[in-house]
Amino acid sequence: MNLKFKNIDSYNYNEAINLKVKESQEGFIETVSECLGEAKELSLWRPVGIYDNNEIIGFAMYGLWKNEDSLGRVWLDRFMIGENFQGNGYGKVSLKSIINKIAKEYKCSEIYLSIYENNTVAIDLYKKFGFEFNGELDRNGELVMKLEV
C-alpha cells in the first residue's frame, strides 16, 4: 500500500463523487457529493481523497469547528472506504494516516467524530484506535467519540 491524501479539486472531483459505500452502509454517511456541498458552504471543512498510488480508494473530511464560547474542536467529520476497496485493510491504515495528518496539521490533542450507534463495524474500528464515547450527542443526535492524540 502506498497511501496518500489529495485535496478534492476540479481534477479529481468526478472520481471522488463516484465513490460509494456498500448499500448496507448508506444510512451511516452522506454521499461524497453531499460532503463536498457542505465543504463549499463551510470553508472550515477540508475534503480529501484517499489514494493508493494513483487510485482513489476512499474519502475523508475534517476541520476545526469553532464555537463562540471556546477554541473549538477538531472533527474527523467523514471517513469512508469505497465499497470496492473494503475488506483489504485500507480502513485501518487510512484511519491511522488521517489521524496523524489531522494531529499534525492542527497541532491538537483531541480529535472528535460523531457516529450512529447502530454503525457497530465503524464503532469497533474507531475504538481500536482509542476513540471513546464522551457521553455527548451532536446536533443530529449522533453519539460523539473523542480521541486523545
* Residue 126: active-site member: yes
Q: Grid coordinates representing 29?
A: 454517511
Counting the structural domains of the chain, the total is 1
Give the angle subtended at the CA of 80 by the CAs of 41 and 95, to the nearest 5°: 110
Residue ranges of alpha helices (H) inside the chain are 13-17, 32-41, 90-106, 120-128
pTM for the model? 0.92
Res. 68 pLDDT band, cuts 50 70 90: low
Q: Note the pLDDT tens digit of each residue in 10-51.
A: 999 999 999 998 888 888 888 999 999 999 999 999 999 999
Find the catalytic residue in 51, 62, 90, 126: 126
Domain CATH code at residue 77:
3.40.630.30
Mean pLDDT of 77-87: 95
Structural domain boundaries, residue 70: 3-148
